[in-house]
């Protein structure tokens, strides 16, 4: 990244200048070796002759050669190591050992339109170095952040190319748009999924309001700044790395198998032996008893759908970089290939990516340098869906009695035989290897009519992909008229082009999983985004006073021009009936053309901003910083006279450990560093505004026919009505955040500790309220509501070495409290999300006093029994109620005679008690939310000689998952066997005298016979589970082959590694992996009815450098 470099150099030279004494001595060629404490050569270390411009860079073997006087002093430095000064003292074979700079005191971090020394920071900025993430198996820079930074939560998707979502310090909006602003090498980007971690120099996360304020209205959800690597100064180098991951299915949900399924449904009474025999499930009736008594394998089929659907697969990542540099400039060219065939059998879940990176900078004059970064990405993704009627729901919902494939018409499921015998075989979907001679069909259920059917069929009927090309880049000129002033003009751009294609034809799997339409669609999206920024950085030292100032402006424009075309009808729409080679819009027949629909409206969005920063520090003890930004957005977002917003921030720091009194009191060995920070800042979130929301117009569309004659479409009169209510006051969401921080290092810098406390309040949430319905609008958009996120960011690290054995432990903990503090007076509570198509009463709810999108449902209290009958006010046990579920709910207050007590208004008094049938209006309570209350990450690094071992894990706790795999209105659909396994069961025994006795087996859950159809139960805390987990993300063993062996093959560095990624997960959740068991990351967070499961990976890695 050019900014870093351009400012680093003046900073470094400033530093060096102070150190250089004057003087010159007799010159001779001095040779030496630079190595680290383990004796490994350091490649690329800088060896400078003090007081001169002469210098050298160490080679592969750490050797250098420099012309210097025999009494000269060599200044040897290398990033991450302490700089050593060595007097030549007449020697000519100098061995120099650099110590690792544990404190990284002089680390420079990127802070937005500038850089700052880490030790000078007064805001909360987290920094991750490329080295910490380069060996991860992910190809997504976002996913690589998981567990590495406190206060940052990553929401992963298990699917290939799924893309990780980033949340910085909580969830500050009711909208789904709560991701941070992403800036790569100064360019605002739409995602960072394209960035391979190996190309990254560093990632900075601006967490507090003060640090982020320099990005104003877009920074309300934090800012992630990424710097890609530029070429190494010194020797040119070629590096290659390969990561080959063998992926296999991770945690599965605990579903019914065949014998349990039969036992369960026979118990419920909705499946009889007769039905099983009629369906040909058993050859003989006797076998039934075999199953019921738990002898497995006696049935005809016992399909484990996970095994039928998933298989081991490979994901490969290649990265090749060539880099080099000298005093004038740097160059890096990188090539990356990702080829991930997901774990679903076949090739319907794939992610392929090709990326090229070109980074170059060159200093033409002392006063002018030019930097350019370019990234070219080509991607293609095929994915399978979740939700109602989807592939992923099918995996968990189809019954285990249905086989994956059948070979005999007698095994057809419900209604399939009939369809098969109708014209066109009723569009019964056929597997690709079907032939008339050797027929094979997808297994279809004889027991359930379901919208999903066989998942393999759902997979095969999907024929769609998305692909695109993105070019992202920037070019900047850097003017340095004085040593203390740098003026920068930078143009950033993104050129995006993407296409999607899909084709579907009628199919029949069951009467609910079917389609009667042919459809085809194609879309082309083209976009150009550019940003132009000009800013000037001033930095100067006056004695002990350090003064920095920055002022700048930016203008950005986004233009898109997307075109779509589609056609669908129940009659054939293509010229060649089923030929795959005719699945293009060009091949529509007359009917297809008659149904052709196209869409296109180009759009633009623009914004401009002025911003500035003042920083001041005194004697490395006191730090002050002020940021200010004024942002204006175009008229599609805000009305003209409300378009400007102002975002100030203030921060201050105090390094106590540099105070004399402190040094006198405390030994440097005990407390090496101690600093306090405090900040306040205001940010905005503008993602939520678009499409002229403030301005209602007459919208056309909607038709009525006053006529009954004519061809379709003739005589339709298009309706016109206002599109909504005007709201000229609309504005962005605004966050204000206070941060108090402490950075400390103890015991000679071996122990480090960072704690931040923050309190972030976001107000003016954009809420779609339902105005009073009598006004005639179904919804209106207003700014209303407030969310609080508060918590601690805690980081602890320990690094030490014992001889050749180096080790480090770092851990971070992020407790978070999220609470809605206000919504809207007309809308104190509202629900959204969920998964459509599934019937239940649970609601994802947004309400004052609760976590955002909490699960609002009934509180399950246990089972009516001889021990609990009094809970519902029974004086004695009512046998008929034994085994029923009990819920919390309001009950009438009764007087001594059992009559309801009335209040002054004549209304029946109620109190919170226990009921059988809770009331949806009054008895629903907060059952937790999908948002973790606590996330953490732990990394352990061990190094010994050439070996290194990394154990890295992350976890979350306090989050809940609502499992929606079992539903009351469709009890035969498969799902978790969790409740059944621990439920009350009755057995009726006939006594000799003809009476019957009911024997009960007790459990934690009610008698399913009385519960399987109870919506309340499946909308209660009984199926809200803890989603807490701890996952070993990576256990990696690496070995770096000593260079003395490899250099014969001209290899300067060779590292081999093997790692187990996502291999072990500790959780109590009975569904699949709790990390990815979520329908989406917004209002339906934590809703699980089948999602792409996480895969376990064994990753083989090779890193080579030449």
Partner 1 sequence: MKKVYLIAMLGVAFGFTACEDKLDIPQKAVLTTETFYQTDDDAEQALAAAYEQFQVNTMGRTTLGPGIYTPARVLANHPGDDICYGGEYYGDHEWGGSINEFRFLHTPEAIEYHYKGLYLSIYNDNLVIDYFANKEGASDYQKQAAAEARVLRAYNYFLLACYWGTPPFADHVLSSADIITNSDNEKAPENAPKSQQAYFQWVAQECENAVSDLTERASTADKEGAYRVTKGFAWAMAGKAYMYAGDFAKAKDCLKKVIDSGKYALVPGEEYMNQFHIQGDGSPEKVFEVNFRYNPAAGEWSSGSGMGWNNHSTWMEPNSFQIRSDKFVKQCLNQYTGQVTGWGSIGIPEWYGEAFAMNDNGHTKPMGETGEYQSYRFKATLLHIDDLIYGETGIESIDTHYSKMPAKHADRVKSKNIGIKSGRKGHYGQSFFIPLKHVVREGDAVEAGGTYSSVHRLNNIIIMRYAEVLLNYAECCLRTGDAGEAKKYVNMIQERAGSKTISANVDLITLKKEKSFEMWFESCRYQDIMRWSKLDNDSYDQECIARLKEQGKHIPHLCDKVQEKPSAVEGIDLNDVRWEFGDEASSRFFIFHTHEAMDQGYEVGWQEKHRLFPYPQQILDNNPNLEQNPGWK
Q: Which of residues 923-942 bind partner 1 (CB under 8 A)?
A: none
CB of 933 to partner 1, least distance (A): 29
Instruction: Spell out a b/e string for 604-627, using b for 16 or more CB atoms within 10 Å of the CB, else e.
Output: ebebbbbbbbebebeeebbbebbb
Nearest to partner 1 of 3, 66 (CB atom):
3
Q: Which two tokens stand for residue 1094?
A: 């996480």
**Applying CB under 8 A, does 973 fall inside the site for partner 1?**
no
Strand extents, DSSP E, 383-517: 405-406, 441-442, 464-482, 485-504, 507-508, 514-515
Which region among 263-271, 325-333, 339-347, 750-758 touches partner 1 (by CB under 8 A)? 263-271
How many angstroms separate the CA atoms of 634 and 604, rounded?
9
**Applying CB under 8 A, does 706 fall inside the site for partner 1?**
yes
Q: Which residues, 6+ apart, have CB-to-CB distance to 682 below 8 Å?
A: 209, 213, 647, 648, 649, 734, 735, 736, 737
Q: Which of 16, 553, 940, 949 binds partner 1 (CB under 8 A)?
A: 553
CB of 275 to partner 1, least distance (A): 4
CB of 784 to partner 1, least distance (A): 13
How many angstroms separate the CA atoms of 856 and 72, rounded?
75
Q: Which of 495, 528, 725, 822 binds partner 1 (CB under 8 A)?
A: 725
Q: Which of 702, 873, 900, 1042 binds partner 1 (CB under 8 A)?
A: 702
**Applying CB under 8 A, does 557 fall inside the site for partner 1?**
yes
Q: Which two tokens stand for residue 904?
A: 């002054």
**Applying CB under 8 A, does 849 fall inside the site for partner 1?**
no
Contact criterion met (CB below 8 Å) for 500 and 395: no
**Applying CB under 8 A, does 971 fall inside the site for partner 1?**
yes
Q: Which two tokens stand for residue 820?
A: 């809605």
**Applying CB under 8 A, does 634 fall inside the site for partner 1?**
yes
Nearest to partner 1 of 508, 650 (CB atom):
508
Report, in this order, helix, strand and coil percent for the chain, each rounded to 5.
15, 50, 40
CB of 950 to partner 1, least distance (A): 46
CB of 503 to partner 1, least distance (A): 17
Nearest to partner 1 of 907, 990 (CB atom):
907
106, 111, 113, 119: CA torsion to nearest 10: -30
Q: Which two tokens stand for residue 8?
A: 């680093």
**Applying CB under 8 A, does 595 fall inside the site for partner 1?**
yes
Nearest to partner 1 of 319, 554 (CB atom):
554
**Nearest Cα to 481, choosing from 315, 560, 607, 368?**
368
CB of 1029 to partner 1, least distance (A): 33
**Applying CB under 8 A, does 516 fall inside the site for partner 1?**
yes
Which region among 132-140, 154-162, 711-719, 1027-1035 touches partner 1 (by CB under 8 A)? 711-719
3-state secondary structure 413-441: CCCHHHHHCCHHHHHECCCCCCCCCCCCE
* Element housing 998 (H / E): strand 996-1001
Which region among 429-437, 508-516, 784-792, 1066-1074 touches partner 1 (by CB under 8 A)? 508-516
How many angstroms separate the CA atoms of 1090 and 1079, rounded?
8
CB of 91 to partner 1, least distance (A): 43
Q: Which of 11, 333, 475, 487 binds partner 1 (CB under 8 A)?
A: 487
Q: Are strands 545-569 and 603-618 parallel, antiparallel or unpaired?
A: antiparallel
**Applying CB under 8 A, does 604 fall inside the site for partner 1?**
yes
The residues with which 1104 forms a beta bridge, in sequence order, are 240, 1054
Nearest to partner 1 of 437, 825 (CB atom):
825
Nearest to partner 1 of 314, 388 (CB atom):
388
Nearest to partner 1 of 282, 1092 (CB atom):
282
Q: Which of 240, 306, 354, 367 binds partner 1 (CB under 8 A)?
A: 367
**Applying CB under 8 A, does 642 fall inside the site for partner 1?**
no
Total Cβ atoms within 10 A of residue 87: 13
Q: Which of 352, 750, 970, 981 binds partner 1 (CB under 8 A)?
A: 970
**Applying CB under 8 A, does 873 fall inside the site for partner 1?**
no
**Applying CB under 8 A, does 994 fall inside the site for partner 1?**
no
Q: Which two tokens stand for residue 96?
A: 């120099």
Nearest to partner 1 of 438, 601 (CB atom):
601
* Element housing 660 (H / E): helix 660-665
Nearest to partner 1 of 535, 952 (CB atom):
535
The residues with which 152 forms a beta bridge, in sequence order, are 168
**Applying CB under 8 A, does 294 fall inside the site for partner 1?**
no
**Applying CB under 8 A, does 318 fall inside the site for partner 1?**
no
**Applying CB under 8 A, does 968 fall inside the site for partner 1?**
yes
**Applying CB under 8 A, does 552 fall inside the site for partner 1?**
yes
Task: List the interface residues with partner 1, window 184-243 (CB under 8 A).
Answer: none
How many angstroms separate the CA atoms of 487 and 368, rounded?
10
How many angstroms separate the CA atoms of 925 and 1024, rounded?
12
Place of tokens 């424009």: 557
**Applying CB under 8 A, does 489 fall inside the site for partner 1?**
yes
Q: Which of 224, 271, 392, 931 binds partner 1 (CB under 8 A)?
A: 271
CB of 99 to partner 1, least distance (A): 41
Nearest to partner 1 of 907, 1048 (CB atom):
907
Residue 587: helix, strand or coil by DSSP?
helix
Residue 515: helix, strand or coil by DSSP?
strand
CB of 236 to partner 1, least distance (A): 32
**Applying CB under 8 A, does 326 fall inside the site for partner 1?**
no
Task: List the interface residues with partner 1, window 434-453 (CB under 8 A).
Answer: 448-449
**Applying CB under 8 A, does 530 fall inside the site for partner 1?**
no
**Applying CB under 8 A, does 93 fall inside the site for partner 1?**
no
**Applying CB under 8 A, does 287 fall inside the site for partner 1?**
no
Backbone angles phi, psi at 397, to 5 degrees: -105, -20
Q: Which of 18, 26, 665, 711 binds partner 1 (CB under 8 A)?
A: 711
CA 861 to chain CA mean position, Å: 35
Task: List the interface residues with partner 1, window 781-820 (CB under 8 A).
Answer: none
3-state secondary structure 795-858: EEEEEEEECCEEEEEEEEEEEEEEEEEECECCECEEEECCCCCCCCCCEEEEECCCCCCEEEEE
**Applying CB under 8 A, does 827 fall inside the site for partner 1?**
yes
What does the angle CA 207 – CA 209 – CA 212 come to, to the nearest 5 degrees?
70
- Burial (CB < 10 A; 0-12, 13-18, 19+), residue 276, is buried
Q: Which of 13, 312, 697, 1068 binds partner 1 (CB under 8 A)?
A: 697
CB of 415 to partner 1, least distance (A): 6
Residue 348: helix, strand or coil by DSSP?
coil
Contact criterion met (CB below 8 Å) for 169 and 125: no
CB of 999 to partner 1, least distance (A): 18
CB of 769 to partner 1, least distance (A): 9
Q: Which of 17, 295, 598, 700 binds partner 1 (CB under 8 A)?
A: 700
**Applying CB under 8 A, does 418 fall inside the site for partner 1?**
yes
CB of 723 to partner 1, least distance (A): 8
Nearest to partner 1 of 309, 973 (CB atom):
973
Instruction: Spell out a b/e string for 729-738, using b for 16 or more CB atoms within 10 Å of the CB, else e.
Output: ebbbbbbbbb
CB of 974 to partner 1, least distance (A): 16
**Nearest Cα to 657, choosing from 676, 674, 632?**
674
Q: Which two tokens stand for residue 344?
A: 């679903």
Total binding residues toward partner 1, as defined by CB under 8 A: 118
């Amino acid at each position: 990244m050019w900014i870093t470099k351009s400012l680093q150099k003046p900073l470094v030279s400033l530093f060096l200048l102070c150190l250089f004494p004057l003087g010159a001595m007799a010159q001779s060629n001095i040779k030496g070796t630079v190595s680290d404490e383990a004796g490994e050569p350091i490649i690329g270390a800088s060896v400078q002759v003090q007081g001169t411009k002469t210098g050298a860079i160490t080679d592969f073997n750490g050797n250098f050669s420099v012309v210097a006087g025999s009494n000269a002093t060599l200044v040897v430095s290398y990033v991450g190591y302490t700089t050593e000064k060595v007097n030549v003292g007449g020697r000519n074979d100098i061995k120099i050992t650099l110590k690792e700079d544990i404190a990284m005191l002089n680390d420079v971090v990127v802070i937005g339109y500038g850089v700052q020394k880490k030790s000078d920071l007064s805001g909360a900025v987290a920094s991750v170095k490329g080295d910490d993430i380069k060996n991860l198996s992910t190809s997504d820079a976002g996913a690589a952040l998981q567990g590495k930074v406190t206060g940052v939560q990553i929401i992963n998707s298990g699917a290939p190319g799924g893309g990780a979502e980033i949340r910085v310090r909580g969830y500050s909006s009711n909208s789904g748009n709560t991701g941070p602003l992403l800036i790569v090498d100064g360019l605002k980007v739409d995602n960072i999924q394209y960035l391979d971690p190996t190309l990254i120099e560093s990632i900075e996360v601006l967490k507090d309001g003060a640090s982020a304020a320099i990005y104003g209205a877009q920074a309300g959800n934090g800012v992630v700044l990424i710097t890609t690597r530029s070429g190494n100064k010194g020797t040119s180098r070629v590096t290659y790395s390969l990561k080959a991951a063998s992926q296999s299915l991770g945690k599965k949900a605990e579903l019914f198998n065949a014998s349990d399924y039969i036992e369960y449904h026979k118990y419920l009474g909705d499946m009889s032996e007769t039905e099983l025999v009629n369906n040909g499930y058993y050859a003989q009736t006797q076998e039934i008893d075999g199953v019921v008594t738990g002898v497995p394998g006696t049935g005809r089929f016992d399909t484990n759908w996970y095994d039928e659907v998933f298989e081991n697969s490979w994901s490969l990542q290649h990265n090749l970089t060539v880099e080099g540099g000298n005093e004038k400039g740097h160059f890096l060219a990188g090539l990356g290939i990702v080829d991930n065939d997901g774990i679903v059998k076949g090739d319907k879940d794939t992610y392929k990516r090709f990326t090229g990176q070109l980074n170059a900078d060159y200093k033409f004059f002392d006063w002018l340098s030019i930097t350019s970064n370019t990234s070219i990405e080509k991607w293609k993704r095929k994915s399978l869906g979740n939700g109602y009627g989807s592939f992923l729901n099918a995996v968990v919902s189809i019954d285990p009695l249905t086989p994956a494939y059948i070979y005999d018409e007698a095994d057809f499921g419900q209604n399939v035989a009939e369809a098969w015998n109708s014209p066109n075989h009723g569009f019964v979907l056929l597997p690709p290897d079907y032939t008339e001679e050797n027929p094979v069909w997808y297994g279809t259920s004889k027991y359930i009519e379901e919208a999903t059917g066989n998942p393999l069929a759902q997979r095969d009927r999907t024929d769609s992909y998305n692909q695109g090309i993105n070019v992202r880049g920037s070019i900047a000129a850097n003017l340095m008229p004085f040593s203390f002033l740098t003026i920068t003009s930078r143009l950033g751009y993104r050129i995006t082009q993407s296409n999607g294609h899909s084709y579907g034809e009628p199919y029949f799997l069951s009467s609910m999983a079917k389609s009667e339409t042919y459809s085809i669609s194609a879309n082309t999206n083209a976009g150009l985004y550019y940003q132009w920024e000009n800013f000037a950085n001033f930095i100067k030292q006056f004695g002990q006073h350090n003064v920095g100032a920055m002022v700048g402006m930016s203008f950005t424009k986004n233009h898109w021009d997307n075109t779509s075309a589609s056609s669908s009808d129940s009659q054939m729409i293509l010229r060649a009936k089923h030929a795959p080679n005719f699945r293009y819009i060009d091949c529509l027949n007359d009917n297809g053309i008659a149904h052709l629909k196209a869409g296109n409206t180009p759009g633009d969005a623009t914004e401009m901003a002025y911003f500035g920063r003042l920083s001041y520090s005194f004697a490395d003890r006191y730090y002050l910083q002020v940021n200010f930004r004024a942002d204006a957005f175009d008229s599609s977002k805000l009305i003209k006279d409300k378009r400007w917003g102002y975002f100030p921030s203030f921060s201050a720091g105090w390094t106590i450990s540099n105070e004399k009194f402190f040094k006198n009191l405390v030994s440097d060995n005990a407390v090496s560093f101690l600093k306090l920070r405090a900040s306040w800042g205001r940010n905005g979130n503008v993602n939520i505004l678009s499409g002229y929301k403030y301005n209602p117009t007459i919208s056309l569309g909607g038709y009525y026919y006053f006529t009954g004659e004519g061809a379709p479409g003739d005589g339709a009169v298009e309706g016109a009505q206002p599109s909504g209510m005007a709201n000229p006051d609309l504005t962005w969401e605004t966050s204000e955040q206070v941060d108090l921080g402490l950075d400390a290092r103890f015991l000679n810098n071996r122990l480090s500790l960072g704690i931040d406390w923050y309190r972030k309040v976001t107000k003016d949430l954009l809420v779609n309220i339902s105005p009073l319905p009598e006004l005639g609008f179904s919804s209106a958009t207003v700014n209303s509501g407030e969310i609080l996120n508060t918590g601690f960011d805690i980081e602890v690290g320990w690094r030490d070495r014992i001889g050749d054995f180096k080790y480090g432990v770092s851990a971070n903990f992020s407790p978070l409290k999220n609470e809605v503090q206000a919504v809207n007076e007309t809308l104190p509570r509202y629900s959204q999300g969920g998964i459509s198509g599934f019937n239940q009463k649970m609601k994802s709810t947004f309400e004052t006093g609760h976590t955002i999108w909490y699960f609002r449902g009934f509180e399950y209290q246990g089972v009516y029994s001889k021990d609990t009958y009094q809970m519902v006010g029974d004086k004695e046990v009512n046998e008929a109620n034994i085994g029923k579920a009990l819920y919390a709910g309001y009950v009438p207050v009764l007087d001594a005679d059992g009559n309801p007590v009335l209040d002054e208004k004549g209304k029946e008094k109620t109190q919170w008690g226990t009921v059988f049938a809770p009331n949806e209006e009054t008895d629903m309570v907060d059952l937790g939310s999908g948002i973790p209350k606590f996330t953490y990450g732990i990394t352990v690094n061990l190094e010994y000689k050439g070996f290194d071992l990394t154990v890295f894990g992350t976890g979350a706790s306090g989050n809940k998952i609502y499992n929606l795999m079992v539903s009351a209105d469709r009890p035969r659909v498969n799902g978790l066997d969790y409740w059944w396994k621990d439920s009350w069961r009755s057995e009726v025994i006939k006594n000799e005298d003809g009476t019957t006795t009911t024997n009960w087996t007790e459990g934690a859950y009610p008698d399913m016979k009385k519960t399987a159809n109870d919506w309340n139960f499946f909308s209660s805390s009984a199926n809200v589970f803890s989603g807490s987990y701890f996952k070993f993300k990576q256990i990696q063993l690496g070995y770096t082959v000593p260079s003395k062996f490899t250099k014969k093959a001209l290899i300067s560095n060779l590292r081999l590694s093997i790692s187990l990624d996502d291999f072990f997960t500790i959780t109590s959740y009975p569904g699949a992996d709790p990390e990815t068991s979520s329908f989406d990351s917004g209002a339906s967070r934590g809703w699980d009815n089948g999602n792409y499961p996480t895969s376990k990976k064994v990753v083989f890695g090779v890193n080579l450098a030449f």
